[in-house]
Structures are given as C-alpha cells and as structure tokens.
Amino acid sequence: MEIIVQLFTTFFVFILIAVLLMYSVRIIPQSNAYVVERLGAYHQTYQRGLHIILPIIDRVAGRISLKEQVKDFAPQPVITKDNVTMMIDTVVYFQILDPKLYVYGVVNPINAIENLSATTLRNIIGELELDETLTSREIINSKMRSILDEATDPWGIKVNRVEVKNILPPKDIQEAMEKQMRAERERRSVILTAEGEKRSAILKAEGEKEAVILRAIGKKESLITEAEGQAQAIERVYRAQAMGVKLINDSNPQQAFLTLKSLESLEKVANGQATKIIIPSEIQNLAGLLASVKGIVEDEKK
C-alpha cells in the first residue's frame, strides 16, 4: 500500500513539475513581444528568445505582434460640404512600436483606431464638396495618416499609411455622373473628329497650294530657259552677221561687188510668193552699170 502511495506521490510531483516548467519556460518567436506583470504591476517586456516566468507571481498581460498590420474597416457614412451622403471605407496600415503603451494605453486599441478613423474621415470630408472628394484621395489619405499617427502615438502605435479604398456616392448621383461622363466622351469625340477634318482640309489646301506654286515655278523656269535659248540664238546670228560685215569691210569691196549683192537680194525677193514687187528708183541705174561692167570684162579678155 505504501508503495502505491509513493508511486502516486512521485507521479503527481512529476506532473506538477512538468506543468510548472511548461508555464515558466517561454520561447518568444521573432517579431513578437510579451508584456509581463509581476504581482499585478508591470514588470518587463520580453522580446524574442528564451525567458523564465515565475509561476503564480508573474503573468503575461499581452502577447504583441511587432509586424506591420493591416485593418480594413467597414464603410462609414459621411456627408460632404454640399450635403451629399456617401459611403467610404478605409484601410489602415499600422505597427506597434511600444508593447507596454499598447497594452496599458487604451482598451481595445483596434476598435479605438476604427472609431478614430471614422470620426477623422467625417471631419475631413465635411470640408470638401462632392467633386473635390472624388478627386482628392491623396489629400484625404495624407491628412488621415497625419491625424491618426499623432492620436495613436500615446498608444505605442505608428500609423504608416492610410488608404481610401472605396467611395460610394448615392445611386442617383452615380447615374448623373455616368450621364455626365458619357456626354463628356461624346463631346471629346466630336471635337476630335472636327479637329481631324480641319487638319485634313488644311493639309489638302496646303498640298494644292504647293502644287500650284511648283507648277508656276516650273513654267517660269521653262520660259526663262526658252527665252535664254532664243536670246543666245539671236545673239549668235547677229554675231555671225557682224563678223561677215567686218570681213567684207576688211576686204574693201568694189562698187561692182556691192551692186551684184543687191541684185542677188532682188532675185531672192522675186522668188517669193508676193504678187507685187516695189523696186527702188536706185535700181533703175543698175542696167547701165551692168553694161559698163560687161564692157570692161570684154576689154580685159581681148
């Protein structure tokens, strides 16, 4: 009987020691922290590694993840400056920098961030009109991040980024916006078509203008070339005639030669198609002159 009692006692002690060891020895993983209280008061924040917690005396008040966390909060109704009610939901990226402040700073910190995000969003949107709200996401994100980061600093939280996920105006506003967008697209299409036609007409007119100019330039150059050719031909003819006259003058021709040339010219005139020929009075003396020339020639032969 005593052996059974001893075995039971030994087993109980072994179980108790195992339980105490399991409770006392804590291995904290990377990017985690434990906030430990001793006798109800804050004692220490344990980071990664092996740590010993005293049974009954020490208690883990909070197990905190030091990684960046993302919270997608439900859509919140907000009213713009021009009294348009819309639904906006936000995404908050935050990180716990001080586990102690996170555990003791506020009750339910995530819920506190959600409520703070909703009130901040309402304040910012209340200062903007509908059109500004739809086109000022970057401004809204920046203001919300600045305000939330400053407000959550006493809680040991660092707000890294805030993003407006969706902006949902009322259905009638959405329909009006869609109609406006369609009208704007049609207007742009008409403008682009008109500009294309205008550009096409301008290019066509410029092409016709250039063609007319080129044709005029070509005709001008052709006439100039032809005129220059005719001028050169006339110049050469006159030069040849001048040269002939010069040679005749240099040879000191006799009156008989000049008379003979006049008769040759008269012969050419007579060969024409004219029905009437007017002979100058000086030509009447040519007969006597020819007879004299003939007599001189015969005397020389004798």
Q: For the residues of 215-258, what is the DSSP string, one character each?
A: HHHHHHHHHHHHHHHHHHHHHHHHHHHHHHHHHHHHT---HHHH
pLDDT for residue 282 is more than 60: no
Separation CA 82–CA 84 (nearest Å): 6
Mean pLDDT within 109-119 = 90
Q: Which residue has the tokens 């329909």?
A: 175
With 0.75 as the threshold, say if the pTM is over it: no
Of the ranges 167-176, 223-232, 278-287, which one carries the lowest mean pLDDT score?
278-287
Mean pLDDT within 121-140 = 86
Q: Residue 161: pLDDT band by 50, 70, 90 thresholds? A: very high
Of the ranges 190-204, 229-243, 255-269, which one carries the lowest mean pLDDT score?
255-269
R_g (Cα) of the chain, nearest Å: 60
Whole-number pLDDT of residue 147: 92
Q: Residue 83: pLDDT band by 50, 70, 90 thresholds? A: confident
Q: Residue 233: pLDDT band by 50, 70, 90 thresholds? A: confident
Phi, psi of 279 (to 5 degrees): -105, 125
Mean pLDDT within 124-138 = 85
Q: Residue 239: pLDDT band by 50, 70, 90 thresholds? A: confident
